[in-house]
Structure 1
Amino acid sequence: MKSVGLLAFYLPQYHPIPENDEWWGKGFTEWTNVARAKPNFDGHYQPHLPADLGFYDLRLDAARQAQAELAKQYGIDGFCYHYYWFGGKRLLEQPLEAMLAGGAPDIPFCLCWANENWTRRWNGAEHDVLIAQQHSPEDDVAMMEDVARYFADSRYIRIDGRPMLLVYRVDILPDPAGMVRRWRETCERLGLGNPYLCAVQSFGLEDPTGYGFDAAVEFPPHGIMTHDVAGSVSALQPAHRGRIIRYGDAARFALERAEAQYPRFRCAMPSWDNTARKQWTGTCYYGSHPLSYRAWLAKLIEEAKANPRLPQPLVFINAWNEWGEGCHLEPDQQYGHAWLEATAAARTGGVPTAVQLEGILAANVEAFPDVPADIAWTELTLAPTAVWGRPTWKQRTALALRQWVSRRPAVKRLFRPMARLLGIVD
């Protein structure tokens, strides 16, 4: 049986660029957002501050190599870099270009085209656009001709010899099937063979194979449907208008998803909280802990081993370094290396029993503050008390509405502006 590979999504937004200087102020990087975040309620973990690697600059080979060495030490097999292409213009490309020119890091990688607009609201919406996408048949070809340079690199990740490329938002493409066809034709013309194309399951996308994609890739918290518990936390800031969701509920929802009838690479997230980007209107998955993340990841690894639809058993992790979304494996000042230790343990330590899993997911994070992330499941004794009550009828109604809308892309597009305001879509 093939061993399961672990790929972590990677954000290259940690170096200044002229565009960000113009849009956000001189010297802006993602660290600018991260450092100024503040907690919104009692027990809210903010700001997330880096430990070992510090506030690094990705223009430096040493910084990128240190990341790769840490990732390999704890069982991460490769990075999936977000790639930014806007009608012929690339952004945040310096780390990738330096790597392609022979620099660090020495680690397998693939690309995920982040094909949405950049806006002032960090959500790809059509208003407050800073730089827009220009989807067209001509751009499809030009973009693939640029990506071909990466496909030719010996470090590029391949599935059965085919270079793997992800697309973040299929839902906004005017002709996804046509784009897939043009990409395959371009790769054939360039002598690169047939690429292995994956669609990220964002914004309600389910089976992408009808468009010609080879597989789907999960991307939590996209697709997670759980109720808001903002009314249950203490000392919530009056200005707060965002959502607070239990991490354990999100993990349980993901683990209970039905088996896909098409190739789908699964994905776990260690934590998620974009307060750093949206102080008062962000979404926080509260109560995440390295142990609960490890349990989620371990179950996905077990599932990938037994999934006959996958040409190669892979599991994704969101993310290696999304610090602005409180979503990172890199060491931080609160948990140190625990997220990485949990990742390594998920690969080798098996899965918890059903009783242990439910206890972990039902617990408040304070129920196991001193439990090491890599503890053997046979040594784990938890008797946590669930501190969250069952959802109210209003929460159940709102959740049912979110689920109904999410399953209907046409309705979602039509009512997205109002739905975002009401918090009933992703």
Structure 2
Amino acid sequence: MVVAALAGFGVPEPAKAQSSPAKVTDPVPMIELRTPAGGRFYTLSPREAADAVSKHRFTREPGQVGYWRTASFFGSQPVFRLRGGSGYLLTASTSERDALVKQGFADEGVTGHLWSTQQPGMERLLRFSKSGEWRVAFESRSGELTGQGYRADGPLGWGHTEWIRAGAIYFGTFNPASTDVIGATKRTFGRDGDYWGGVRDFSGRDPAVAQNTQGWSGNFSHLSPSIGFYDDSKPATLEKHIDQATGAGLDFFQFYWYWDTTKKKQPERFDVSLNAFGAARNRLDIDYTLTVCAHPWGNLGIPKEDFGTVADDFVRHFRQPNFLRANDGRLLLTLCDRRGIGNGSDADTREFISVVRQRAASALGEDIMVLGYWEAMLDPAAPERWGTEGAYCGVRIDHEKSYARYAATLPEYLAKGPSQFMRCAAQNFDERPRFPHLIPDRSKIRFYPDQTPELFGDVLSTLRKDIAGSRRISAVDNFVSIYAWNEWHEGGIIEPNARDGCRYLGIVHDSLGLRTGKGC
């Protein structure tokens, strides 16, 4: 069980919190900036880039100059950055570096690591120069740049032109501990012990349960997982999900995390699925993070007296080698709902985040990055008020009632995001399977009537284009959060299903240009 694997950590003396970029093994964006004198400056560090802009009047160039690694690896070669006067240049040659230092250049150390030989899907990066200006670009741009008067100085190494890290919200509640669904299903449909109530009824895929779509027309046979109606408290279920997700190139799961104010622990129906993930034999094949849902109703908030206990539970997860990290190495935590944190005030949210930071710094000497929910983008000052670095975004069903309009307005929506921003894609939203046992009032049922796989592909392509031309300085600039892996009661589903198979995972892989995965 994951609890046993996480237990037993000590709490050392407080240490200075720091990020750990060397622990990030995925390629990260190389950020290009222009200096006030017209030179080019390159860095993998969002913090260094932000300082260059705010303190030295550098400007961010759009896009990325490939994706590099922050630490050395087998088959890598370092690339050095040197400064001469107001200009900067990169070189992979130690002899050139040493010669330039003798000429008065300042050696600013290793700026990143590239592959020394070509690998699948990579292009070669070259340095170009013109009148004391040095810049870096992929070899495919040689004709364009030489036409502008640049000279190709030589190669730096091989790198990826794109590297998007895509993950999916994981809703772990399909297990025998989901007593609310089981009770509602028994009262409404007369079946006991069924934690798939509603979904099973709509799907028509269970011979023992008559299809009951409550008067809505359509084909609902997709509401059946390809692996069958499973129990997500079993490690074998999570192992299958991990195989499916990584086979399509997904990089992480975002587990919804709740707190039971009465029992002073995570509710069992969610805890058991996270435990199952921790016990899965292939758990290290995929990263994971926690998405904190402190709802302001029932017993799902986090009172102030529980802040320390909750923070300690997070620290146990932070210790795991596959806990998700931002590109700068910080441990990444997200908040899906902050209204139940303390009294829901900005001050209580700041205090809660401060406690989590302090516990992580004391126990691990590590810094964390916290992103609030997408509502922050409707108020640019919200992240600062809450003590978060930025935001991740999610479903817009309460703002856009048409999926076609959701897709069409996405560029405008993305442009409103804060600098530190994890982009998102909603596969769908459809909570009709919650009627009538979980939502008795039919008028309150929300769903997109016009969602199609093609429109979902358009949404993902929009995100890919937005990333490629980004001007943000962000440690999560190439991250995409997808709603959702398995929100079977709410329609957000990219998990393979009995009708569509792996179609949606294939759309994710191809539309985002994911560089890993051998197929579902």
Question: Which residue in 1 is equivalent to 2:417?
Answer: 260
Mapped to 2, the partners of 1:50 and 1:41 lie a distance apart of 19
1:298 aligns with 2:431: no
Instruction: Return closer, same or farther for 1:282/1:44 CA change in 2, 3 Å cut-off.
Output: farther
Give the TM-score normalised by structure 1.
0.68
Measure how far apart 1:246 and its partner are. Answer: 2.5
The amino acid across from 2:176 in the alignment is P
Equivalenced residue count is: 318
Measure how far apart 1:204 and its partner are. Answer: 8.1
Per-residue CA distance 1:86-130 (angstroms, 9 max, x = gap): 23221221121233356453311111011115xxxxxxxx4xx3x
Question: Which residue in 1 is equivalent to 2:54?
Answer: none
Question: Which residue in 2 is equivalent to 1:90?
Answer: 266
The structure having more radius of gyration, on CA atoms, is: 2
Measure how far apart 1:165 and its partner are. Answer: 0.8
Which ranges of 4 or more aligned residues in structure 1 deviate by more than 4 Å?
Answer: 38-43, 101-104, 202-205
Question: Which residue in 1 is equivalent to 2:277?
Answer: 99
Mapped to 2, the partners of 1:348 and 1:100 lie a distance apart of 29
The amino acid across from 2:479 in the alignment is L
Query: 3-state DSSP class of the match of 2:509?
Result: helix
The amino acid across from 1:250 in the alignment is Y
Measure how far apart 1:301 and its partner are. Answer: 2.1
Per-residue CA distance 1:227-268 (angstroms, 9 max, x = gap): xxxxxxxxxxxxxxxxxx321112222233234343221111
Per-residue CA distance 1:68-88 (angstroms, 9 max, x = gap): 111111121111111121232
Instruction: Return closer, same or farther for 1:192/1:287 CA change in 2, 3 Å cut-off.
Output: farther
**Residue of structure 2 aligned with 1:57, choices 225, 228, 231:** 231
Measure how far apart 1:42 and its partner are. Answer: 6.6
Give the TM-score normalised by structure 2.
0.57
Map 1:158-169 to 2 at 5 A: 158-159=325-326, 160-169=328-337
Measure how far apart 1:348 and its partner are. Answer: 2.4
Mapped to 2, the partners of 1:73 and 1:52 lie a distance apart of 15
Measure how far apart 1:39 and its partner are. Answer: 4.2
Question: Which residue in 2 is equivalent to 1:113?
Answer: 292
Instruction: Return closer, same or farther for 1:41/1:32 CA change in 2, 3 Å cut-off.
Output: closer
Measure how far apart 1:311 and its partner are. Answer: 1.2
Mapped to 2, the partners of 1:163 and 1:329 lie a distance apart of 26
Per-residue CA distance 1:331-390 (angstroms, 9 max, x = gap): 2233222111111111229xxxxxxxxxxxxxxxxxxxxxxxx9xxxxxxxxxxxxxxxx
Task: Compare 206-215 and 44-53 and name the one that shifted more.
Answer: 44-53
Measure how far apart 1:221 and its partner are. Answer: 2.3
1:342 aligns with 2:507: yes
The structure where strand makes up a greater share of residues is 2
Query: 3-state DSSP class of the match of 1:46?
Result: coil
**Residue of structure 2 aligned with 1:250, choices 406, 412, 420:** 406
Mapped to 1, the partners of 2:509 and 2:479 lie a distance apart of 15
Measure how far apart 1:276 and its partner are. Answer: 0.9
1:69 aligns with 2:243: yes
Measure how far apart 1:323 and its partner are. Answer: 0.6
Query: 3-state DSSP class of the match of 1:158?
Result: coil
Alpha-carbon contact 2:371-2:388 (below 8 Å) kept: yes
Mapped to 1, the partners of 2:320 and 2:258 lie a distance apart of 19
Give unpaired runs (5+ residues) of structure 2.
1-65, 68-162, 187-191, 203-211, 437-441
Question: Which residue in 1 is equivalent to 2:169?
Answer: 9
Question: Which residue in 1 is equivalent to 2:308?
Answer: 141
Give unpaired runs (5+ residues) of structure 1.
118-125, 227-244, 350-373, 375-426
The amino acid across from 1:59 in the alignment is S
Per-residue CA distance 1:159-197 (angstroms, 9 max, x = gap): 122111111112442311121222211211212511111
Measure how far apart 1:330 and its partner are. Answer: 1.3
Query: 3-state DSSP class of the match of 1:324?
Result: coil
Question: Which residue in 1 is equivalent to 2:393?
Answer: 218
Instruction: Return closer, same or farther for 1:286/1:21 CA change in 2, 3 Å cut-off.
Output: closer
Map 1:184-333 to 2 at 5 A: 184-202=357-375, 206-207=379-380, 208-210=382-384, 211-221=386-396, 225-226=399-400, 245-257=401-413, 258-279=415-436, 280=442, 281-307=444-470, 308-312=472-476, 313-333=478-498
Measure how far apart 1:36 and its partner are. Answer: 2.2
Mapped to 1, the partners of 2:293 and 2:219 lie a distance apart of 28
Mapped to 2, the partners of 1:206 and 1:339 lie a distance apart of 32
Question: Which residue in 2 is equivalent to 1:354?
Answer: none
Question: Which residue in 1 is equivalent to 2:49?
Answer: none
Mapped to 1, the partners of 2:491 and 2:505 lie a distance apart of 15
Measure how far apart 1:288 and its partner are. Answer: 1.4
Instruction: Return closer, same or farther for 1:328/1:22 CA change in 2, 3 Å cut-off.
Output: closer
Question: Which residue in 2 is equivalent to 1:237?
Answer: none
Query: 3-state DSSP class of the match of 1:196?
Result: strand
Mapped to 2, the partners of 1:47 and 1:221 lie a distance apart of 25
1:150 aligns with 2:282: no
Query: 3-state DSSP class of the match of 1:80?
Result: strand
Map 1:374-413 to 2 at 5 A: none
The amino acid across from 1:46 in the alignment is F
Mapped to 2, the partners of 1:259 and 1:194 lie a distance apart of 27
Question: Which residue in 1 is equivalent to 2:193?
Answer: 27
Mapped to 2, the partners of 1:335 and 1:291 lie a distance apart of 13
The amino acid across from 2:408 in the alignment is R
Instruction: Return closer, same or farther for 1:41/1:266 CA change in 2, 3 Å cut-off.
Output: farther
Query: 3-state DSSP class of the match of 1:86?
Result: coil
Mapped to 2, the partners of 1:186 and 1:146 lie a distance apart of 10
Query: 3-state DSSP class of the match of 1:90?
Result: coil
Measure how far apart 1:274 and its partner are. Answer: 0.4
Mapped to 1, the partners of 2:214 and 2:447 lie a distance apart of 10
Alpha-carbon contact 1:9-1:316 (below 8 Å) kept: yes
Instruction: Return closer, same or farther for 1:252/1:295 CA change in 2, 3 Å cut-off.
Output: same
